[in-house]
Amino acid sequence: MKIVDTSDLWWKNAVLYCVDVDKFLDDDGDGVGDLPGLARRLPYLADLGVTCLWLMPFYSTPDRDNGYDVSDYYGIDPRLGSHGDLVELIRTAEDRGIRVIVDLVLNHTSDQHPWFASARRSRTSPYRDYYVWRDEIPDDPRETQFPGEEDGVWEWDEASGQYYLHSFYSHQPDLNVENPDVQRELAKVMGFWLQLGVSGFRVDAVPSFVSSPERREPQRDHDVLRALRRFAQRRSSDAMLVGEVNVPHAEQAAFFGEDGDGELHMQFDFASNQALYLALAREDPQPLRASLESRPAIAAVSQWANFVRNHDELTLDQLSDDERDEVFAAFAPDESMRVFGRGIRRRLPPMLGGDPRRVRLVYSLLFSLPGTPVLLYGEEIGMGENLDIDERDAVRVPMQWSPDGGFSTAPASDHPLPAPDGPYAPEHVNVESQLMAADSLFSFVRELARTYRLSPEIGWGELELLPATAPTVLAHGARTSDSRFIAVHNFAGEPVSFDLELGDEPVGTELLCLASGESWAVEDGAVAMSLDGYGARRMRVCRPGDGRLR
């Protein structure tokens, strides 16, 4: 197999793993997960195939929004550890071949941040213009990110006699990123964490960051974020920025830039994520196929980040009302399973009725779509949610290590959130029972990660959408100038036989299944094969003279 050097663009074929530190593993027995606990589990993550660890906010915080309400960008929540603990985590991760990136919250601070405390004390404070103030609410104010939880985006501040802008919760005042002083502060924050050894940042809520306080649509001038990227790469040449950019594909192009020299190296593909769930609800791959076709072309230095679930709600805001209702009916039939009128607060296995065939189909897709796969902690063992917990916290339950939980030795009442009960309780879903079981979901995901790393064209190649004679089958692949990866996924529960069109391939070419070693001869540019209900195959093209590995 030809080995591709990805040292300079390491994110192109990484395997990212998102961790909420306070819910992963408690090392000191106080009931809260911490950095030393996470460091103890690095061998587990390396065994899974993780090459990049994404840490959700661990900064000093009042913790009213899962740490996204930052009160000190340079501090670490003392419950989670110290700067020394973080540096030790980064060093130990590097020894395991794992990089570390951290969340970067640019849109807002906590109302407990010293900047805002000073700003609200006096209109002449040097930090007053770090935030956005108005005497009157604009006639056409922007909509809140959290309908049903917030009445609007302007909050009256009695202390200073003006309204301040908050695109998110009222305790998170928006930063005025048009202020050069704010821009310099944010660059210093990035420089600080890069100096401690992180390899980049997951940039939170990017469209809100680049939007004007008085407008609904993002500005086309993204100079501030572009300058932050340039700053990061001056400090560390291989630093990576991956952005949460939940906008249609056509708008995402601006964040990449024409030659990949824009604001972000990677962007989460929210459009395809939402189309995936519509396809699953219909048992028809066409919505996902159409979304993949709409992906804009990107430069070699840019990348898509593919995901199944994240730490927030499963947002469906890019679907039409009727399409959203279809997904709700299939996967969130009870109103309690929904949030903000646009999303689902469940993890994947319960949404799919616990059907292991469908669960594995989805993760096979995750590791075969061109781009970089991103896992949320616990996905590899099929963790569920706890709907007794409010809002998005339903999916942020503690990691399930053993039948008794294994998250902490402290009483459950001291844990950040309660574990699920029923079929997704720790006694039924945990790492210990799956780690050595060859037929477990953990073993399946570990094998997906291994074969993903053996197929560099998934990360580096161009997307192919291939003709297949069965309408329930999504046939796709990725190819470089000298190698080719092919995947087929049956979205229906019934077995299907079909012809797969591969185009011009030399006589003697074979398709080799990466999981089973089974092979199919390519005849006249086509292959006849079958798939079980919700079945999938991930394959390499082996041409004459290549041998079975390239």
> Which residues does the annotation mark as catalytic?
204, 244
Residue showing tokens 């700003």: 119
- Long-range contact list for 23-28, CB < 8 A, 24+ apart? 23/377, 23/396, 23/397, 23/398, 23/399, 23/407, 23/416, 23/417, 24/377, 24/398, 24/399, 24/407, 25/399, 25/401, 25/407, 25/408, 26/407, 26/408, 26/409, 26/410
534, 491 Cβ separation under 8 angstroms: yes
Helix (H) or strand (E) holding 521: strand 519-521
Q: How long is the chain?
A: 550
- Nearest Cα residue to 369 out of 448, 263, 313, 481: 448
377, 307 Cβ separation under 8 angstroms: no
Other C-beta atoms within 10 Å of 32: how many? 22
473, 465 Cβ separation under 8 angstroms: no
DSSP H helices in 96-133: 114-121
Residue showing tokens 């899962």: 66
C-alpha 100/C-alpha 152 separation (Å) is: 36
Compute the C-alpha angle 143/148/149, nearest 5°.
90
Structure tokens belonging to residue 349: 């296995």
C-alpha 514/C-alpha 89 separation (Å) is: 33
C-alpha 283/C-alpha 236 separation (Å) is: 45
C-alpha 16/C-alpha 36 separation (Å) is: 20
3-state SS, residue 21:
helix
3-state SS, residue 50:
coil
Structure tokens belonging to residue 362: 């989805």
Q: Where are the beta strands (DSSP E) in 232-276?
A: 240-243, 266-268
